[in-house]
C-alpha cells in the first residue's frame, strides 16, 4: 500500500518498518538509564553466577524496593539483557552478560559506556541551545556521569591493551620505560592511563596534565590509592602550555580531537619532547570519510561527538572541532604540520587507533 504526501509517494510498509524501528530506539534510549540504574543499585552484580532469581530475591540482595526491581527486570528481559523463565518466574543473567555488566577488569565491561551516554543525554538540552548559536560547552560543565562514565568506559580498554600491546608497539619505548623515563600524560582526566603506566614501570616518573581541576584532584586520589603517588604528579594545565621539556614519552588518550587548538597542542608537544622522544596518540577508531564510519561504533562516536567532543572544542580558543571521527588523515596533517617527521599507525582495537609520532 502507498499514500501520496506533499513530498513523495510513501510506501506504508517501509513507513511502519521505520516506526517500529523508532520504537526500538526509544526503548534503547530508556534502557541506557535502566542499565546505569542496575549498575548503581548492584542489581546485575546480585544476579551474577545465579541460576535464576525472583524479583523479590534480587531486591532483598540489594536492599531496594521489590516493586521497582520487578519492572526493571521485565524491561531487561524484553531487551535481552537478562533471561526470563515464565515457569518459575525467575530471571537469570547469562555468563556473557555478567562479564559485560559486572566484571570491571574485562575489556568488554560496558556500564561506563552507558553512564557517559546517560550523562550526555541529561546535558542534551544545553547542547541544543548551544547549537543555535554555535557556542561551546566545556568538559567541566557536564554532569558527573559524563566524567565518571568516560573513565569507566575507556579504563578497561587501557587495562587490556596499553601495557601489553600499545606501548610495546612503539619503537624503543618499552626499554626506556623499564630503565627509567620521564612521561607526560596530557589530557589525563582521572588519571587511569597515568596510574596504569606508573604501576607497570616503577623506574619511570609520570606527570599528568588536564585543564579540568576536578579531574586532576581525582587523579591524585587514584594515584594515592594505587601506591604510585611518589612517582606521579598531576597539574591543572591546558594542553598547549603544560610544563616541562625533554620528555621521553608524551601520551594523549582520546583527547586530541576534543581540544580547541589541537595544532597548537601538537606544536607544544614538539617543543616539550626529547630529540629521540615519542608521542603516542590514542584516538577513537575512525575512517577518513563519513561512509567509512556508518557502522555501530561510528554511530556511537558521532553521537558523542555531537553532544560532547564538538561542544568541548568550540568552548576553547580556536575551536577547530575535529570531532571524534576525525580519521587518520586529519590527525596526520596536524602532527606533520607541528613539525614531526615520522607518523604511523601502530595498533588498533574496535574502539581505538594508536598512532606514533616522532621528531
CATH code: domain of residue 339: 3.40.50.150
CA distances from 356 to 60, 172, 238 (A): 51, 12, 22
Is 170 in the same domain as 50?
no
Distance CA 336, CA 343 (A): 8
187-216: per-residue pLDDT in tens?
999 999 999 999 999 999 999 999 999 999
Is 331 in the same domain as 351?
yes
CATH code for the domain in which residue 57 is found: 1.10.10.10
The answer to the question of residue 120 being in a domain is: yes
Is 208 in the same domain as 329?
yes
Cβ count near 272 (within 10 Å): 19
Is 334 in the same domain as 297?
yes
Is 149 in the same domain as 29?
no
Q: Which of 103, 124, 151 is the last residue of a domain?
A: 103
84-140: per-residue pLDDT in tens?
999 999 999 999 999 999 999 899 999 999 999 999 999 999 999 999 999 999 999
What pairs with residue 234 in β-bridges?
A: 208
pLDDT mean across residues, the chain: 96
The answer to the question of residue 129 being in a domain is: yes
Distance CA 269, CA 184 (A): 10
Distance CA 232, CA 252 (A): 16
Distance CA 300, CA 313 (A): 18
The answer to the question of residue 108 being in a domain is: no
Is 317 in the same domain as 293?
yes
The answer to the question of residue 109 being in a domain is: no
The answer to the question of residue 191 being in a domain is: yes
- The tally of domains found in the chain comes to 2
Q: Which of 43, 78, 103 is the last residue of a domain?
A: 103
Query: Phi/psi of residue 318, each to 5°?
Result: 75, -55
Is 150 in the same domain as 36?
no
Residues of the domain holding 27: 2-103
The answer to the question of residue 66 being in a domain is: yes
Classify residue 165 by burial, with Cβ atoms within 10 Å: 0-12, 13-18, 19+.
middle
130-149: per-residue pLDDT in tens?
999 999 999 999 999 999 99
Q: Cell numbers 560547552 label which residue?
A: 137
**What is the pTM for the complete model shown?**
0.91
Is 185 in the same domain as 274?
yes
Cβ count near 271 (within 10 Å): 9
Is 159 in the same domain as 35?
no
pLDDT above 90 covers what percent of the chain?
96
The answer to the question of residue 127 being in a domain is: yes
DSSP 2-62: EEE-SSSEEEHHHHHHHHHHHHHHHHHHHHHHHHHHHHHHTHHHHHTT-S-B-HHHHHHHH
Is 296 in the same domain as 199?
yes
Cβ within 8 Å of residue 91, ≥6 positions away: 47, 52, 53, 54, 55, 58, 73, 76, 77, 82, 83, 84, 85
- CA nearest to 254, candidates 157, 358, 129: 157
Is 26 in the same domain as 63?
yes
Cβ count near 78 (within 10 Å): 12
Is 218 in the same domain as 302?
yes
With 90 as the cut, is the pLDDT of residue 2 above it?
no
Q: Which of 52, 73, 103 is the last residue of a domain?
A: 103
The answer to the question of residue 155 being in a domain is: yes
Q: Could you tell me if 181 and 144 are in contact, meaning their C-beta atoms sit under 8 angstroms apart?
A: no
Amino acid at each position: 500500500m502507498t499514500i501520496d504526501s506533499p513530498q513523495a509517494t510513501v510506501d506504508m510498509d517501509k513507513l511502519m518498518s521505520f516506526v517500529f524501528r523508532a520504537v526500538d530506539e526509544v526503548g534503547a534510549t530508556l534502557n541506557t538509564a535502566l542499565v546505569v540504574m542496575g549498575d548503581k543499585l548492584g542489581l546485575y552484580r546480585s544476579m551474577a553466577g545465579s541460576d535464576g532469581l525472583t524479583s523479590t530475591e534480587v531486591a532483598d540482595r540489594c536492599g531496594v524496593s521489590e516493586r521497582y526491581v520487578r519492572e526493571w527486570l521485565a524491561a531487561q528481559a524484553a531487551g535481552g539483557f537478562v533471561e526470563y523463565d515464565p515457569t518459575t518466574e525467575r530471571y537469570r543473567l547469562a555468563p556473557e552478560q555478567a562479564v559485560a555488566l559486572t566484571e570491571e577488569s574485562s575489556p568488554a565491561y560496558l556500564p561506563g559506556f552507558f553512564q557517559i551516554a546517560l550523562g550526555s543525554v541529561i546535558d542534551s538540552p544545553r547542547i541544543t541551545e548551544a547549537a543555535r548559536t554555535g557556542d561551546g560547552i566545556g568538559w567541566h560543565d557536564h554532569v558527573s556521569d559524563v566524567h565518571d562514565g568516560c573513565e569507566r568506559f575507556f579504563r578497561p580498554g587501557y587495562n587490556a591493551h596499553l601495557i601489553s600491546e600499545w606501548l610495546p608497539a612503539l619503537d624503543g619505548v618499552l626499554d626506556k620505560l623499564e630503565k627509567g623515563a620521564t612521561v607526560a600524560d596530557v589530557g589525563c582526566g582521572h588519571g587511569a592511563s597515568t596510574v596504569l603506566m606508573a604501576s607497570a614501570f616503577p623506574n619511570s616518573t609520570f606527570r599528568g596534565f588536564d585543564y579540568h581541576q576536578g579531574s586532576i584532584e581525582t587523579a591524585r586520589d587514584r594515584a594515592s590509592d594505587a601506591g604510585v603517588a611518589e612517582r606521579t604528579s598531576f597539574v591543572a594545565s591546558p594542553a598547549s602550555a603544560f610544563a616541562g621539556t625533554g620528555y621521553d614519552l608524551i601520551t594523549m588518550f582520546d583527547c586530541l580531537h576534543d581540544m580547541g587548538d589541537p595544532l597548537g597542542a601538537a606544536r607544544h608537544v614538539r617543543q616539550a619532547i626529547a630529540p629521540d622522544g615519542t608521542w603516542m596518540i590514542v584516538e577513537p577508531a575512525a575512517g577518513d570519510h563519513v561512509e567509512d564510519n556508518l557502522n555501530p561504533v561510528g554511530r556511537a562516536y558521532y553521537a558523542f561527538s555531537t553532544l560532547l567532543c564538538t561542544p568541548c572544542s568550540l568552548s576553547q580558543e580556536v575551536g577547530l572541532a575535529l570531532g571524534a571521527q576525525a580519521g587518520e588523515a586529519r590527525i596526520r596533517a596536524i602532527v606533520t604540520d607541528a613539525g614531526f617527521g615520522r607518523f604511523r599507525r601502530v595498533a588498533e582495537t574496535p574502539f581505538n587507533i594508536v598512532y606514533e609520532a616522532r621528531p
